[in-house]
C-alpha cells in the first residue's frame, strides 16, 4: 500500500524518525515522489555539503507544520518538474549501493 500510494503521489511526507533524519527520504525519491522533510531545529540530511536539498525536497521546520498545505500549493508545476529532474540526476550518484560505494572510495582516496 505504501509503495502504491507513494509512487502515485507528487509529494510524500518524510518526518524524521528516531534518528536525526528519515529513511523515507530515499524511498520517496526512489518511487518518483518529492520528499517533504519535516524537521525540528536543524535539518539533518545527508550530503548537505554536496547536495542542494532545496532543489529536490521541500524542507519544513516543525514550527511551520500548520502551513504545509500553503507551502506545497505554492510550488509551481515547473518547480515540481525541476525537483523530479534533480532527483533523477542525484539519486544514482549518492543513494544507490554502487553510488554510495564509489563515494566512499573517492573520499578515502582524498585522505
Question: Which H/E stretch holds residue 34?
Answer: strand 34-39
Domains of the chain: 2-62+73-110 (3.40.50.2000)
Question: Which H/E stretch holds residue 12?
Answer: strand 11-15
Note the pTM of the prediction, 2 decimals: 0.88
Q: Given this model, what pLDDT does residue 43 score?
A: 86
pLDDT tens per residue, range 21-49: 888 899 999 999 999 999 888 888 888 88
Q: Given this model, what pLDDT does residue 21 score?
A: 81
pLDDT category of residue 2 using cuts at 50, 70 and 90: confident
pLDDT tens per residue, range 55-64: 999 999 999 9
**Distances from the Cα of 79 to the Cα of 3, 49, 56, 63, 111, angstroms:** 24, 22, 10, 24, 38
Question: Which H/E stretch holds residue 35?
Answer: strand 34-39
Question: Which H/E stretch holds residue 107?
Answer: helix 97-110
Q: Which three cell numbers stand for residue 73?
A: 500549493
What is the Cα–Cα distance from 87 to 65, expressed in whole angstroms? 24
Amino acid at each position: 500500500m505504501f509503495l502504491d500510494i507513494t509512487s502515485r503521489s507528487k509529494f510524500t511526507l518524510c518526518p524524521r524518525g528516531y534518528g536525526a533524519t528519515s529513511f523515507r527520504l530515499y524511498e520517496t525519491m526512489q518511487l518518483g515522489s518529492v520528499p517533504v522533510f519535516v524537521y525540528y531545529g536543524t535539518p539533518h540530511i545527508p550530503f548537505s555539503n554536496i547536495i542542494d536539498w532545496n532543489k529536490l525536497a521541500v524542507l519544513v521546520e516543525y514550527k511551520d507544520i500548520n502551513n504545509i498545505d500553503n507551502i506545497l500549493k505554492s510550488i509551481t508545476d515547473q518547480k515540481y518538474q525541476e525537483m523530479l529532474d534533480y532527483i533523477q540526476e542525484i539519486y544514482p550518484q549518492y543513494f544507490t549501493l554502487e553510488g554510495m560505494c564509489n563515494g566512499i572510495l573517492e573520499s578515502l582516496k582524498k585522505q
